[in-house]
Amino acid sequence: MTEDEIRELISERDVLRQEVIVARRSAEFTAKLVVDQFRETDGFIQRLHIANAWQQAVLDAASRISIIAATTDGTIQLFNTGAKKMLQYSPEEVIGKLTPEVFHDKYELEARRAKMQESLNRPVDGMNFFLEYARRETLAEQEWTYVRKDGSKFLATLNMTLIYGPDRSIVGILCSARDITQRKIIEQEMIAAKNAAETANRTKSTFLANMSHELRTPLNAIIGYSEMLQEEAEERSLGEFVPDLKRIHSAAKLLLSLINDVLDLSKIEAGKVELAPETIDLSEIIRDVVATVQPLIEKQQNGLAVEFPASVPHEMVADPIRLKQLLFNLISNANKFTEHGRLAIVVSGDDLLNQPAVRIAVKDSGIGMSPEMVQQVFQPFFQGDASTTKKYGGTGLGLPISKKLCELMGGKIGVESELGKGSTVYFVLPVSGVNGGKKAGPSDGLKAGALPIEVPVVPARDYLLIIDNDPNAHDLLGRQLKREGFEVVSVLGADEGMAIARRKKPRAILLDVIMPEKDGWSALRQLKADSILSDIPVVMVTIVDDQKLGFALGAAEYLVKPVNNERLIAVVKKYV
């Protein structure tokens, strides 16, 4: 063998060796790739198993919700633990064997299917109904009747959702339902409780209205007659009777005040009090209240000062009647617990919910309160202790009523006090204010012991017409008016009164509200709608405290019984 041949063999050997090395390295690389791929695939499969386990755990955890998934042909593919508990089927009985229609009341299903077919104007069969329903009622929960394996039925809220494939084609439907049987029971119980509460509230309101009339009517008579008898006793020099008559008058007014407090609190709590806000001059309101309480303050030998800086707005929007009631309650309460002392009404500017407000404080130098008393002072019927109740009396309703009135007007109220050093009760009201059928009457015009009323004869000269179903009211009002020289005609019913008024128009009509057959509101409406009678001034004289309605219906004046004699005469003289 020549050297050239030997060199060629060596060269081929080296090339072959190099190729073997390359092949071996390639094989090792390929083997590594295969191993890595197997590992990645195995990890993916494991992750898929974990994801499926998580999904199943979530579905099974929803034990109170039935979750069922089915293909477009109705074959159930998913049936969770909630569905098993709710419908009493096992997954093995359902998956791949039943359709969702099995779980629905067939009559309800057919009724809804018929309604859909009428709407679409084409037949909708089998699973197409559910698919169409899911398409039309996306994310909407509806009440359906479900049927368990044993045939029993129950109400459930059902939501149907379409399932889409990668190409956005519909591949199935997901139905999630929740048993609402217990919720329906609770709803029925709540409705029954609400109806019972409303019935009880109506009964309470009717009772209060009746008691208001039955209690206040005789008290008004006692107050009126005792006042009139005092005047007559003084005129006839029968002075020995005057002290007893004053005691009767004072006791009757106190009893009426207590009854009014209880009724006021009940009306406020029942939401029966409506505000009539208007623009007012606060200084005039305070001046009127001070004039009213001045005799009470003098009786206790107290002094009263008013601090009203010019910088504080005098004009505000509020219900003048309720504001006066609130101020009167606070001043009366301060005066009751103070003797030979000082009272002060201090007005200042304030802020309430970032709105301009007025702060009115009523200060006294009276007995004061302990911290424990301050905590309870706005609770109804709270009166400190037995010794306080015995000495000062009252019902413990003045401040609770004041608090509720203040809140009704959009304000707040508070108290500061120290035992033995007096108290300050203040309230804050917004300057701009707060955005804020036939009535039952007695069945008889005459009652036992009532004074008879003669058939009225219309006088030839000017007269006043009294329309009231209470003969005692006629006697009291008639005596007061006749003493001042007025001619008076009295009738028990509204229709009779209007008939007399048409025969000869009176100078004014004094009209009560609570009357049988036709109440005063109806009579007032009819009077103001009558072209012949509409210009006659009508003065409401009643125990019903609803000035807002009276003025809205056209009343010229509104007097709440018992009516002070001077006030009655002054009002009548305005129109006669």
Note whether 398 and 325 are within 8 A (CB).
no
Tell me: pLDDT of 22 over 60: yes
Both tokens assigned to 364:
């006294």
pLDDT recorded at residue 441:
35
Separation of alpha carbons 556 and 524, rounded Å: 11
Is the Cα torsion angle 234, 238, 240, 241 positive or negative in sign?
negative
Q: How confident is the model at residue 151 (pLDDT cuts 50, 70, 90)?
A: very high
Q: Residue 353 belongs to what H/E stretch?
A: none
Q: How confident is the model at residue 537 (pLDDT cuts 50, 70, 90)?
A: very high
Which pLDDT does position 470 carry in this prediction? 82
> Of 127 and 447, which is predicted with more confidence?
127
Whether 539 and 572 have beta carbons less than 8 Å apart is answered as yes
CA distances from 540 to 212, 254, 402, 473, 563 (A): 17, 24, 26, 13, 11
Number of H helices, E strands in the chain: 17, 17
Q: Is the pTM of this model over 0.85?
A: no
Q: What is the pLDDT of residues 451-460, one digit of tens each?
A: 444 445 555 4
Pairing of strands 508-511, 538-542: parallel
Q: Beginning with the edge strand found earlier in the chain, give each strand of the sheet holding 423-430 in spatial order.
A: 303-307, 342-352, 355-364, 423-430, 412-417
Percentage helix, strand, coil, to 5, in the chain? Answer: 50, 20, 30
* pLDDT surpassing 90 at residue 134: no
- Under the banding of pLDDT at 50, 70 and 90, the label for residue 50 is low
pLDDT tens sequence across 355-402: 899 999 999 999 888 888 888 888 876 665 545 544 555 556 778 888
Q: In what order do the strands lie in the sheet with 65-71?
A: 76-79, 65-71, 170-179, 153-164, 142-147
User: How much is the average pLDDT of 466-477?
Assistant: 85
Give 69's contacts (C-beta < 8 A, 6+ positions apart): 76, 77, 78, 163, 172, 173, 174, 175
Tokens of 473: 């009211």
**Residue 379 one-letter amino acid:** Q
Quick check: 356 and 349 in contact, CB under 8 A? yes
Task: Report DSSP letters for 419-474, one per residue.
Answer: TTS-EEEEEEEETT-----PPP--S-SS-TTPPP-PPP---SS--EEEE-S-HHHH
Please report where in the chains the tokens 């003084």 appear, as a residue: 234
- Is pLDDT above 90 for 352? no
Q: CA angle, 567 as apex, 532 and 509 as ends, to 5°?
A: 15
Q: Looking at residue 378, what is its pLDDT? A: 82
Strand 355-364 with 423-430, pairing: antiparallel
Query: Who's near 299: CB < 8 A, 6+ residues apart?
Result: none
- Structure confidence by residue, pLDDT tens digits, 25-44: 766 666 666 666 666 766 66
Q: What average pLDDT does the structure give for the chain?
A: 81
537 vs 279: CA distance, rounded Å = 25
DSSP 63: T
Quote the radius of gyration of the chain (alpha carbons, Å): 44
Tell me the DSSP string of 204-253. Answer: HHHHHHHHHHHHHHHHHHHHHHHHHHHHHHHHTT-GGGHHHHHHHHHHHH
Out of 101-105, 241-245, 363-367, 525-529, which region has the weakest mean confidence (pLDDT)? 241-245
pLDDT tens-digit series, residues 68-87 = 999 999 999 989 888 999 99
Token couple for 466:
């009294």
**Cβ-contact 292, 328 below 8 angstroms:** yes
Provide the β-strand partners of residue 442: none
pLDDT at residue 450, as a whole number:
40
Distance CA 438, CA 518 (A): 8
d(CA 480, CA 486): 9
**CB neighbourhood size of 86 (10 A):** 21
Other CB atoms within 10 Å distance of the CB of residue 514? 22
Q: Which helix (H) or strand (E) holds 105?
A: none
For residues 226 and 308, which has the higher predicted lDDT (pLDDT)?
Answer: 308
